[in-house]
Amino acid sequence: MTTEPTQLADLTATRLTAGYAAGEFSPVEATRAVLERAEAAQARTNCFTRIDADEALSAAKESAERWRAGTPAGPVDGVPVTVKDLLLTRGAPTLRGSRTVRADGAAWDEDAPSVARLRESGAVFVGKTTTPEFGWKGVTDSPRHGVTGNPYDPGRTAGGSSGGSAAAVALGAGPLSLGTDGGGSVRIPASFCGIFALKATYGRVPLYPASPFGTLAHVGPMTRDAADTALMMDVITGPDWRDWSQLGPAAGSFRDALTEPVAGLRVAFSPSLGWDVPVAEEVAAAVRSAVDTLAGLGACIEEIDPLIEDPVEAFHTLWFSGAARVVQHLGDAERELLDPGLREVCEQGARHSALDYLAAVDTRMALGQAMGRFHSGYDLLVTPTEPITAFEAGAEVPAGSGHTRWTGWTPFTYPFNLTQQPAASVPCGVDGDGLPIGVQLVGARHADALVLRAAHALYEAGAARIPAPPHSATPGGS
């Protein structure tokens, strides 16, 4: 063996499968190391709703036999994976952070499409990760499971709504995680926790059951680097008849696309989308440095804004209406169990009329057309993922910010849920408190492979390498 078991939790999925194939170590050894990290990550950040050690070790032993026989089930055979507790996972309750969901209220005998594709490929499921109630906000705390802290500073938020997944990946509790993103929910915590995440083009990753938030909601990989996300995308984009809105097969392998150069790409750099966004000085500097790296690799950079207006009111209409739909079946007593903030937005959403909703859809369509026109001249749009770094855990908005809802401090993420474009967050530095900073890469619809190619180039150039959180190796390391 060339790698000590205690170090296996720090390896990427790509490195793990290469090690399995070479006989350097086994899925059982890797899973034991990850389970040890999962317990430590849970103690540090409260990022899990459940850890399934026995199931994980059983699956790892089966994987080890397949690797010994030279017959792995797929590209992620034996790789430890975690799943956000909004996605159905066979054999485990999906509680969605809510005291209104009964653990014994269903058979829990079905996998979501992305979970099913990973299981078919031999992935080892470690556990379910925390989410705010029904994934409604951009931080991770819930009445059922409490507050999830940041791996770099547990007193700060991990972001959300896929905060548990981000913290788990950052701390070595599995190199791959499935999150969901309806307004930034994989990119916000990726930025705050120093990992990589992709919100793929809507429909590229099948989703079932359909989200009550409609076509705002995407499934997205959360990983240590862009190469692992490409590996994961090659698995989870497989078709599933249960999602009537899924896209057709991808044009080719996402992993193969990583080798293409970024030289010649037309990159628009917009420091604030042209809006009055107070971007923290250290964030702005780190993002500009990442853009300079792309320029050094031969990309053609132009600092320009896409000339769009902030669609936050349309987003609120769609998002709050979706939230109202989530809880529509609940009685008064059950509603008293909800997160107070969620109750407020549900009440607001229930007041919207069908005409309000359709007006928001009109705004959404116009925004999508504007971004389609913009991308006819630019391959990528680059912005900060967040204008700030992680703030106090347990709060929906930063103290003293003047914001009333989470959308106030995350203006760069939700517009691209409205437009259904692929968007990724890449770590690009840390602030003076050692908290991660993310840069967002946005592509035209269906340009997922191009976004991954540019993100991978940043990793290869060393621009995405940041200090590790306590008790783990560098998130981008192998």
Q: Which residue is listed with tokens 């078991």?
A: 5
> Which residue numbers are catalytic?
84, 161, 185
> Vertex 439, ends 433 and 444: CA angle to 5°?
165
Helix (H) or strand (E) holding 124: strand 124-129
The CA distance from 282 to 193, in Å, is 16
Q: How many CB atoms lie within 10 A of CB 128?
A: 25
Q: How many CB atoms lie within 10 A of CB 292?
A: 13
- How many helices (H) does the chain have, and how many strands (E)? 16, 15
Percent of the chain as helix, strand, coil, to the nearest 5: 40, 15, 45
**Burial, 281: exposed, middle or buried (Cβ in 10 Å; 0-12, 13-18, 19+)?**
exposed
The CA distance from 453 to 257, in Å, is 6
Q: Which residue is listed with tokens 């938020």?
A: 157
How does 416-448 read in b/e, with b if 16+ C-beta sit within 10 Å? bbbbbbbbbbbbbbbbeeebbbbbbbbbbbbbb
The CA distance from 169 to 107, in Å, is 29
Write the DSSP assignment of 21-70 as a string of letters.
Answer: HHTSS-HHHHHHHHHHHHHHHHHHH--EEEE-HHHHHHHHHHHHHHHHHT
Contact 238, 467 (CB under 8 A): no
Contact 327, 320 (CB under 8 A): no
In single-letter form, the type of residue at position 30 comes to A
In the chain the first and final C-alpha atoms are separated, in Å, by 16
Helix (H) or strand (E) holding 82: strand 80-84
Q: Which residue is listed with tokens 């925390």?
A: 130
Q: How many CB atoms lie within 10 A of CB 131?
A: 34
Phi-psi region of 135 (alpha: psi -120 to 50; beta: other; left: phi over 0): left
Write the DSSP assignment of 410-468 as a string of letters.
Answer: -TTTTHHHHTT--EEEEEEEE-TTS-EEEEEEEE-TT-HHHHHHHHHHHHHTTTT--PP
